[in-house]
Amino acid sequence: MSTQVSGVVPRQARGRATVLGYAMKVLRGLPRPVRRAVLGGAGAGELPPVADFVRMLEIAGDLPDSGPTHAELVARFPEIAAVEVEDPGIDGVPARLYRVPGRAAEAALVWVHGGAFVSGDLAMAEAHWTGSMLAARGIPVLSLDYRKALHGVRFPAASDDVLAGWGWAVSHPERLGVAAGRMHLGGASAGGNLAAGVAKRLRDGAGRPPASVLLAYPAVHPELTGWDEAGLAAIRDERSAVYFSPEWVRDLSLHYAGDAGPADPYAFPGVGDLAGTPPTLIIDCERDTLRRSGELYAEQLRAAGAEVSAHLLAGAAHGTLNEPFSEAGQRTVDLMTEWLTPRPDRGGDRPAG
């Protein structure tokens, strides 16, 4: 009986994932208002099992984008209309460069969006709105895409792409308008993992380290620890928040790492020695199970002697930078701007190198 049931359930789940994948593929081709109407609050709640989620994305190509258009962003944030966006032409790495022509800069950011290592692109708000807003405030941004952990791709492919994008940036300072020593590296969620992992590779000789590291709601450990059932239930039962269960995070980590495994210190930068890590900004969200990873990473960095500035956004759910019209999303950009802006009360241009 048990053998028969265990054989049927995976086939049924695989079938559901296949159907959903083709449905998502069709939805991606429909007008944005239709996508918004169909998806509604589908981005919140519990996620499908990792294997089903991956299969769905391998068929669909990616999740349908129902976020704000550029025109909608300009209507709300008119300052970004002055930002020029171009393809910098990095070999093998899709990227966008955000700058205000003729405006002097004191710091620049190489930025990596999230998406659980399997989703996301340069058009999502976490990439496009973040780049636009910081550039409008005088901080040029090189926003990087990377290979997703789909169709057999695993670590270190995405990490290699981010490393290549960083290498291009420090080799072409004139394109970003600042010296290489004033370039920072950052990312959100899985992109935060990639940014922190690449910073670790750079520390260990892979290239010039960044002036600092910026991490928004990062997942830098292969497993979540420190949660009790009551804490998990409070987030799981909050229907407007995405719920990443500890089991889901563990399974995703195993999927992403592949042969490298969960102990690889570059796949999961919270593993291993952190001495010599550049100054680091960490922004966590209260209604997000992944905040335990960000909080633990801050503790580990302090213990290793690194400078850390950690912030918890009260009441915020995971993915604030994908919510441009929210107070939490705007607060996240403000914290990043403050970190990247030289100030006399923190040593002049210390964060900018």
Q: Taking the CA of residue 128 as centre, how many other CA atoms within 13 Å lie in the half-sphere pointing to its CB?
A: 21
Alpha helices in 212-245, H assignment, sequence order = 229-236
CA–CA separation, 188 and 320 (whole Å) = 9
Q: Cβ contacts of residue 124 below 8 Å, gap of 6+?
A: 65, 67, 113, 115, 322
Indicate whether 5 pLDDT > 50. Answer: no
Closest by Cα among 28, 56, 135, 125 to 319: 125
Indicate whether 178 pLDDT > 50. Answer: yes
Instruction: Encode pLDDT of 282-320 as tens digits.
Output: 999 999 999 999 999 999 999 999 999 999 999 999 999
Residue 98 token pair: 């955000």
Q: Residue 8: its pLDDT value, please?
A: 36
Selected residue with higher pLDDT from 12 and 265 = 265
Closest by Cα among 287, 294, 338 to 314: 287
Alpha helices in the chain, H assignment, sequence order = 2-28, 32-39, 50-60, 70-76, 125-136, 157-171, 173-176, 190-201, 229-236, 246-257, 291-303, 327-340
Tell me the percentage of the chain whose pLDDT exceeds 70.
92
Q: Cβ contacts of residue 87 below 8 Å, gap of 6+?
A: 95, 96, 97
CA–CA separation, 221 and 270 (whole Å) = 5
Instruction: Encode pLDDT of 115-138 as tens digits.
Output: 999 999 999 999 999 999 999 999
Measured over the CA atoms of residue 291, residue 191, residue 26 and residue 9, the dihedral's sign is negative
Closest by Cα among 246, 127, 243, 128 to 188: 127
Q: Residue 343: its pLDDT value, please?
A: 62
Judge whether 97 and 341 are in contact, CB under 8 Å.
Answer: no
Torsion of CA 242, 39, 319, 253, to 10 degrees: 60
Confidence of residue 12 (pLDDT cuts 50, 70, 90): low
Every domain of the chain and the residues it spans: 2-60, 70-352
| Residue owning tokens 């102990």 | 263
Q: Residue 353: its pLDDT value, please?
A: 35
CA–CA separation, 171 and 335 (whole Å) = 28
Q: Which CATH architecture describes the domain 70-352?
A: 3-Layer(aba) Sandwich (3.40)
Measured over the CA atoms of residue 87, residue 93, residue 99 and residue 104, the dihedral's sign is negative
CA–CA separation, 35 and 111 (whole Å) = 27
DSSP 8-class letter at 154: -
Instruction: Encode pLDDT of 45-99 as tens digits.
Output: 788 999 999 999 999 998 888 899 999 999 999 999 999 999 999 999 999 999 9
Q: Residue 41: its pLDDT value, please?
A: 53
